[in-house]
Amino acid sequence: MSWLLDPFDFAFMRGALAACVALSLGAAPVGVFMLLRRMSLMGDAISHAILPGAALGYLAAGLSLGAMTLGGVAAGVLVALAAGLVARRSALREDASLAAFYLISLAIGVLLVSLKSRNIDLLHVLFGSVLSLDRDALLLIAGIATASLFGLAALYRPLVIECADPDYLRQAGGPGALVHLGFLLLAVLNLVAGFHALGTLMAVGIMVLPAASARLLCERLDSMLALAVGNALAGSIGGLLLSYHLDVPAGPAVVLSLGLIYVVVLAFTALRPRPILTSEVTA
């Protein structure tokens, strides 16, 4: 039991725990919808796009939480919209467009950070600094999680309709574009929160991995949302404990724990007999 509780005697571990709980509550449900809307790759691209925006904030105002956050959100929204536009208006498919934006964003971000920093800063930006989050950063992450939960509650019904039958919401006169933009904003906000804790390369991990594990186990959306939050909590707390006891970087340890849950669930469901669906019987 002391293996489980003793690490949290330290203030930096309690801070990391608070950040992981907030991220699990806010980002994991958004990750479920991201997965179901087949936007996991877009989430990855947006998380990389946050880097140059945050780096511009860093160049302009130093290690200012507000400037880096604003820069990150602006760049994330810009790339999400631009990737969608390029996919619609050019011969490129969305995956190719996203890959292009992701590579360009990462390169610009690393260059900008290198202009005014040491390698250690670059590592923090790429892999996060969940063990050294100050009070303001924790408040920001908790604030984003709170806004995200309220935002998702407000968008829930049209979002479900749009995911299950994309054309129906529009045909029935629903606010399809507003829902899409609202969801993109929620995704970007959570990725920025994840960026502060887990870094640009790992931020999307706490959104997509718990959702993917839950999807393998659940047939219902409400249980999938609940299980995704549970997975995120278990994986992120497990990762913090691994990081503490094995003395390895916390961000990658958190994402690795989430990945471990995913692999175990994948193996379990692959070995489980598949239920026979009505459509297969009647086809």
Partner 1 sequence: MTAAALSLSKIVAGHDGHVSISDVTLAVPAGARVAVIGANGAGKSTLLKTIAGELPPLGGQMRRCATCARMGYLPQSATVDTRFPVSVYEFVAMGVWNHVGLFRRLGPAVRQRIDAALDRTGLAALARRPIGALSGGQLQRARFARLMLQDAALLLLDEPFAGVDRPTREALMALIDGWHAEGRTCLVVLHDLDLVRQRFEWCLSVDDGHAQLTPTAELLALRPTADGAAAARHAFLRDALRA
177 binds partner 1 (CB under 8 A): no
User: In angstroms, rounded to a whole number, what is the distance separating the alpha carbons of residues 194 and 145?
Assistant: 10
From residue 214, give the alpha-carbon distance in Å to each of 36, 148, 263: 11, 20, 12
Compare residues 119 and 282 and give the one whose CB is closer to partner 1.
Answer: 282
Check binding of 164 to partner 1 (CB under 8 A).
yes
Which residues make Cβ contacts (< 8 Å) with residue 69, sequence separation at least 6? 54, 57, 140, 192, 196
Task: Answer yes or no whether residue 208 interacts with partner 1 by CB under 8 A.
Answer: no
| Given 154, 248, 263, 266, the residue binding partner 1 (CB under 8 A) | 154
**Of residues 52 and 158, the one with the C-beta less far from partner 1:** 158
Q: Of the two residues 3 and 275, which places its CB atom closer to partner 1 in the complex?
A: 275
- Work out which of 4, 135, 219, 274 binds partner 1, going by CB under 8 A: 219
Instruction: Please give the Cα distance from 281 to 190 (Å, whole number).
Output: 42
Amino acid at 228: A
Query: Are 206 and 194 within 8 A, CB to CB?
Result: yes
Which of 17, 78, 100, 161 lies at the binding interface for partner 1 (CB under 8 A)?
A: 161
Tell me which DSSP letter residue 62 carries.
Answer: S
- CB nearer to partner 1: give 96 or 161: 161
Q: Give residues with Cβ within 8 angstroms of 19, minimum separation 6.
A: 130, 133, 137, 138, 141, 197
- Coil, helix or strand at residue 129: coil
Of positions 18, 36, 59, 78, contacts partner 1 by CB under 8 A: 36
Question: Minimal distance in Å, beta carbon 85 to partner 1?
Answer: 18
Interface with partner 1, residue 279, by CB under 8 A: yes
Write out the residues near partner 1 by the rule CB under 8 A: 36, 154, 157-158, 160-161, 163-168, 171-174, 215, 218-221, 224, 277-279, 282-283
